[in-house]
Amino acid sequence: MANPQDTRHRLILMRHAKSDWNSGAGPDHARPLNARGRRDAPRVAQALLALGWAPVHVHTSDAQRTLETWSLMAAELPEVSIQSTRHLYHGDLDALCREAPAWPEGTVLALGHNPGWEEAVSELTGIPTSLTTANAALLEGTGATWAAALQGTWRLVDVLRPKSLQ
């Protein structure tokens, strides 16, 4: 039986959109999106909005490709708070747990990288899940706080994949 103090939490774990390996941008951290990435990011945002999964807060890696992914998504979504951090650059579930206490109530979008995000989805849900670029795993969990919820088991509601969006 669920604790009456538990709150339902919704977490979107999204991998950045497709990056441009031939950009000449220098280090990995500075790599921008390619044309497909710039096309896919707003499409995922539109799908989140249509499904009622618009985030109230975005927590993103500070890499160029994640910040650019969010910038393109933000144009399609209601205004939300955003925080970028180096901790999510190639972060994983442990990084999410360190960041979660600062998250507000409501749906949170964590925008990051693989392999950490695939591993986090699998650890939270018990379901091995592939997240290619611009894929967004929609998760639901419960707990009195975000930190408590991330210690529990989550339900994988869906995975949005740009190739399957209209």
The separation between the first and the last C-alpha atoms of the chain, rounded to the nearest angstrom, is 40
pLDDT surpasses 90 at 35:
yes
- Rounded to two decimals, what is the model's pTM? 0.94
Residue 25 has pLDDT above 90, yes or no: no
Residues paired with residue 138 on neighbouring β-strands, in sequence order: 12, 158
Q: Report the pLDDT value the prediction gives residue 3, as an integer from 0 to 100.
A: 59
Q: Is the pLDDT of residue 1 over 70?
A: no
Report the distance separating Cα 65 and Cα 123, nearest Å.
Answer: 25
